[in-house]
Structure 1
Amino acid sequence: MENIIHVKSVSEYTELRGAEVLHPLVNVLDYEKLRFLEPASYNFGFYCVFLKETKCGDLKYGKETYDYQEESLVFVAPGQVLTVQKYNTDVKPKGKVLIFHPDFVRGTTLGNIINDYSFFSYAVNEALHLSKKEVTMVLDMFNIIENELKQNIDKHSKTLVISHLQLLLNYCTRFYDRQFITREHANKGILERFESVLNSYFTDNKTEKGLPSVSFIAEELNLSANYFGDLIRKEMGISAQEYIQNKVISIAKERIFDVEKSISQVAYELGFKYPQHFNRLFKKKVGITPLEYRNLN
């Protein structure tokens, strides 16, 4: 089994990189002044926002490798494992990393909504690629937070840092929305593959595993579940789960007319564990029960 190095605190990571601990729970580090991490797998106990301005090495998250191009943001949530594979020793790394522990935002407005920033669970190959203008904005916010941490701590310090941190994350949400739009061609390919995976799920009798889940489809498409879900919502205006349910109902409408099969048999064939769950979903989507639908036609 691969050894994983657990880095539990902001201070531990800061010292590992040879930097100054500005605050035990939050820090901003400059890549040009940091020691390289040894190639290994790391499990961080805190949130990370990596801003890479140069291509300097490979990161691996799960099965996917992201070879950094210029101007990218990668987000890491506590408990995720990143594998540092190698460094390009000919290139001086440039960029910054913002790290903050969950305890820093716990009990605050940001702490209550931190899970809403779903990009913290995206894979590294789903990084946010920034324009020159966006890089400047992100750097400005990094610098404001860093400067605040270098001030003498007073009763306003935490409030100000959290306010700017939340502002940064809100802008990143906007930037990701822009990226979903500007990558329309690539997104169309994903949607076509999504439909293909769904169709084969039912035609290849994979329903014995149950109904197709969002996580299953995302894995088939080599995407993280959160990125896939956000993409579908942006492109289709509905959740991935709702899209799957609509597909199930569409197929159900065809199979219900096979009078040789009971409604329960149709439900099992579609992957429902219990026929009553099928009846409930069908009525919710169509307005009548499967049996009523069969009798109407």
Structure 2
Amino acid sequence: MGTIQKLRTIKEFHQTRNLPPPEHPLISVVDYADVQLQQEYFDCSWTLDFYLISLKKNIGGKVKYGQQTYDFDEGVMFFIAPGQVFRIEPTTGSPSDRSGWMLLIHPDFLWNTSLAKAIKHYEYFSYTIHEALFVSKKEEDTMMDIISNIRREYHTNIDKFSQGIIISQIETLLKYAERYYNRQFITRKRAGHQMLEQLELLFAAYFNDDIASTKGLPTVQYFAERLHLSPKYLSTMLKALTGQTAQQFIHDKLIDVAKEQLSITDLSISEIAYHLGFEHTQSFSKLFKSKTSLTPLEFRKSFNMN
């Protein structure tokens, strides 16, 4: 797969696409016609620490994602979750009529909202769906109306109501996308990547079934055994598909669970650490801060500042 370029912030995404700085650090709407494609854009694969939802036409290349290649000469929608790897493969010529939009959403924009958990249940963000969403002109117009509402809200009305209004618009967009996918798959089979799907289920069960309280922190060995793979092979596969080693994948999933519990429960920091499988609270706090730049307590307090 070659070099994988990781973008941690929406600001970095804007910089690599020669766009002005985003007006909000955690959410942005980009007009695809404004994106300036440089050769470096095609020379590596990309992975993001945020969600990317896009509708593009005439991209001037093909997108390689989840071992599948998409042709963007027609209007199609594309959904990328944090940590997934994609690549743009250039085609001959440079189209002058590139159009469409990209919605960038950092997961931290969603914390302490119902969408923080719900967004993970939309299957089209998963590698288990490796088919682009083809939309009709009417469906495209519906999506554009929602995107215009989001853009208008964060451009003109940043106040205590803004996040809730924008979240509701994102939820509406995702529900329409789900409807359109269901329509598209009436006559098509969904293709899946079995290993990643099973790994996600195993990870969820590790905490839902309280396995962590007896076995401690989840390990590469634990998941590899249940997938009937060697730890090295599992890590190699994850690296190719997500840009992460198995250990990095596990750590990021731990932080996701921790953020959820810090934002929606009253459990103490030590109780959360124990639930995750940490033997010492200090170890949990150290990993959390290394991943988020905040201590668990600072992260929790950030929701009580209004």
**TM bucket, shorter chain:** 0.5 to 0.7
**Unpaired runs of 5+ in structure 1?**
195-213, 227-272, 274-297
Question: Aligned ranges for residues 135-214 of structure 1 at < 5 Å?
Answer: 135-181=140-186, 184=187, 186-187=188-189
Instruction: Choose 1 or 2 for highest CA Rg.
Output: 1
Deviation at 1:18, TM superposition (A): 2.1
Contact 1:74–1:124 (Cα < 8 Å) also in 2: no
Alpha-carbon shift at residue 45 of structure 1 (Å) = 0.7
C-alpha separation in 1, matches of 2:12 and 2:172: 26
- The answer to whether the aligner puts 1:77 opposite 2:78 as a matched pair is no
1:57 paired with 2:61, answer yes
* CA distance in 1 between partners of 2:93 and 2:129 (Å): 21
How far apart in 1 are the matches of 2:4 and 2:118?
29
SS of residue paired to 1:126: coil
1:128 and 2:170 matched: no
Residue identity in the other structure for 2:63: L
Question: 2 CA distance for matches of 1:123 and 1:142?
Answer: 26
Q: How high is the TM-score relative to the length of structure 1?
A: 0.60
Seen in structure 2, the aligned counterparts of structure 1 residues 177 and 117 have a Cα distance that, compared at 3 Å, is same
Change (3 A) 1:52 1:123: farther
The answer to whether the 8 A contact 2:123-2:129 is kept is no
Q: TM-score, normalised by structure 2?
A: 0.58
Cα gap change, 1:10 to 1:55, in 2 (>3 Å): closer
Q: Whose relative contact order is higher, 1 or 2, with alpha carbons under 8 Å and at least 6 apart?
A: 2
Distance 1:124 1:84 in 2: 19
Q: CA RMSD in A?
A: 2.5
Q: Deviations over 1:108-159 (max 9, x none)?
A: 0111211111101147850100011000001111111111111141111111
1:23 aligns with 2:24: yes
Q: C-alpha separation between the residues in 2 aligned to 1:177 and 1:126? A: 12
CA gap of 1:135–1:88, structure 2 versus 1, over 3 A, is farther
Change (3 A) 1:124 1:29: farther
8 A contact 2:66–2:127 mirrored in 1 = no
SS at match of 2:150: helix
- Offset of 1:90 from its aligned partner? 3.3
- Aligned partner of 1:104 in structure 2 is 109
Name the counterpart of 2:99: 94
Q: Which residue of 1 is the match for residue 281 of structure 2?
A: none
SS in 1 for 2:147: helix
Partner of 1:48: 52
Aligned partners of 1:145 and 1:82: how far apart in 2? 25
Is 1:117 aligned with 2:117?
Answer: no
Deviation for aligned residue 1:165? 0.6
Identity %: 35
8 A Cα contact 1:64 1:123, kept in partner: no
Counterpart of 2:210?
none
Structure 2 letter corresponding to 1:18? N
Secondary structure (helix, strand or coil) at the match of 1:2 reads: coil
